[in-house]
Amino acid sequence: MKAVVYTRYGPPEVLGLADVKTPVPGDDEVLVKVCAVSLNRSDWEGLRGTPLYSRIGGLFRPRRHVLGSDIAGRVEATGHAATRFKPGEDVFADVLSRMGGFAEYICVPQGALAPLPAGLSYEQAATLPQAGAIALQGIRDKGQVLPGQKVLINGAGGGAGLYAVQLAKLAGAEVTGADNTEKLEFIRSLGADHVIDYTREDFTRAGRAYDLVLDLAAYRSASACKGALAPGGRYLYVGGSVGTLLQVLLLGPVLGRAERKRIRLLAVRLGVQHLAPLVELCQAGKVTTVIDRRYQLSQVPEALRYLGEGHAKGKVIVALD
Ligand SMILES: NC(=O)c1ccc[n+]([C@@H]2O[C@H](COP(=O)([O-])OP(=O)(O)OC[C@H]3O[C@@H](n4cnc5c(N)ncnc54)[C@H](OP(=O)(O)O)[C@@H]3O)[C@@H](O)[C@H]2O)c1
């Protein structure tokens, strides 16, 4: 089968389309023919080997040689004990812990798979796993956004931002989305009430206070972020610099305690089994999936460059035949 392979960290040029062995499903695994796979920032981070947390398991060289985690496709074959699915069924999955989605076929443990939601295409379903889990848990489960609250989503123009802005609006919040100049119109189109151009304005210095800051691109100090919270507000670190992550982990529990401000890491529970509320909203037309661009498998390097260089608005998809 064809797969997009890399053996060292670097720019998109280190990726190459190669012929590799089609995997054989283990007892509890399902062989899926990949029909669509969406790109995430975690693919870009895993390609570049930065931030440092993206090298977990492969400090000098990538442990997994095929990136791509959010897949939708069709069951091709099943292992002896994988009885939940049958060949021909449409499925989707998040395979972040093992990657391998930029390929024609992938083996997935049956527990990580769910049936393709009715009414959603392979491409739409593939946009949901990682971005949707971050947004659902950031806005609803951990963010606990209430009507009228002020919410800032930093990095709102990307994949998780796409769903986080819409969920925060559905919860009745007043939403501000921050991202680069090119993405501001897109963030407004998702329903955001205000936008901030991070290349011109630092949200921690603007003198505004939020009940929730969902930080998808955390590059400011934890104490600066604390300053952007209203009393009783929450700051959730999702991704960004390792320096900010360490500050959040080490200082977060004490910073802002006096003003009842909570500064925490959002450790996302990944897995399509947690996505049901978002899937239902998509099926009901209350949340929209936005696919900015589609690429072929051979164009994965180009697709990743588009995302990594800051152009992708919403999701980017690799569609296979
Ligand atoms: N905590 C967890 O458990 C967990 C789980 C999975 C993933 N993650 C992390 O979640 C993060 C977000 O994922 P995603 O797929 O939504 O990424 P994405 O699609 O790339 O979106 C991130 C957005 O942030 C923007 N941005 C970059 N620097 C910024 C800054 N200084 N201020 C404001 N915005 C900035 C990016 O624009 P530019 O293009 O201009 O850079 C991009 O639009 C990733 O870092 C990923 O590793 C965390």
- The tens digit of pLDDT for each residue in 216-234 reads 999 999 999 999 999 999 9
Contact 259, 234 (CB under 8 A): no
267 Cβ inside 6 Å of ligand 1: yes
Nearest CA to ligand 1 atom 20: 41
Spell out, as residue ranges, where the chain has pLDDT lower than 70: none
In angstroms, the CA 314 to CA 177 distance is 13
In angstroms, the CA 129 to CA 117 distance is 12
Which pair of structure tokens corresponds to residue 138?
């950031």
Nearest CA to ligand 1 atom 37: 310
310 Cβ inside 6 Å of ligand 1: yes
- 58 CA from centroid of ligand 1 (Å): 22
Q: What is the pLDDT of residue 297?
A: 98
Q: Which atom of ligand 1 is nearest to the CA of 45?
A: 47
Check residue 205 and report its DSSP letter: G
Sheet containing strand 210-215, strands side by side: 194-197, 174-179, 150-154, 210-215, 229-237, 262-265
Task: Work out the number of other CB atoms within 10 angstroms of the CB of residue 285.
Answer: 8
Q: For strand 229-237 and strand 210-215, is the pairing parallel, antiparallel, or unpaired?
A: parallel
Q: What is the pLDDT of residue 258?
A: 83
Contact 248, 185 (CB under 8 A): no
Element (H, E) at 96: none
Contact 307, 41 (CB under 8 A): yes
Q: What is the pLDDT of residue 53?
A: 86
- 1 CA from centroid of ligand 1 (Å): 31
In angstroms, the CA 171 to CA 180 distance is 25
Full DSSP string of 163-185: HHHHHHHHTT-EEEEEE-GGGHH
Q: Using CA of residue 182, residue 187, residue 193, residue 195, what is the dihedral sign?
A: negative
Q: Where are the alpha helices (DSSP H) in the chain?
A: 41-48, 122-126, 129-135, 159-170, 184-189, 222-227, 242-251, 276-283, 300-308
- 309 CA from centroid of ligand 1 (Å): 12
Q: Which atom of ligand 1 is nearest to the CA of 266?
A: 1
In angstroms, the CA 5 to CA 47 distance is 10
Among 160, 165, 126, residue whose Cα is nearest residue 294 = 126
Q: For strand 174-179 and strand 150-154, is the pairing parallel, antiparallel, or unpaired?
A: parallel
Q: What is the pLDDT of residue 219?
A: 96
Check residue 138 and report its DSSP letter: I
CA atoms within 13 A on the CB side of 104: 12
Q: What is the pLDDT of residue 256?
A: 84
Helix/strand number for the chain, H first, E second: 9, 15
Which pair of structure tokens corresponds to residue 172?
């009745």
- The tens digit of pLDDT for each residue in 113-159 reads 999 999 999 999 999 999 999 999 999 999 999 999 999 999 999 99
In angstroms, the CA 312 to CA 129 distance is 17
238 Cβ inside 6 Å of ligand 1: yes
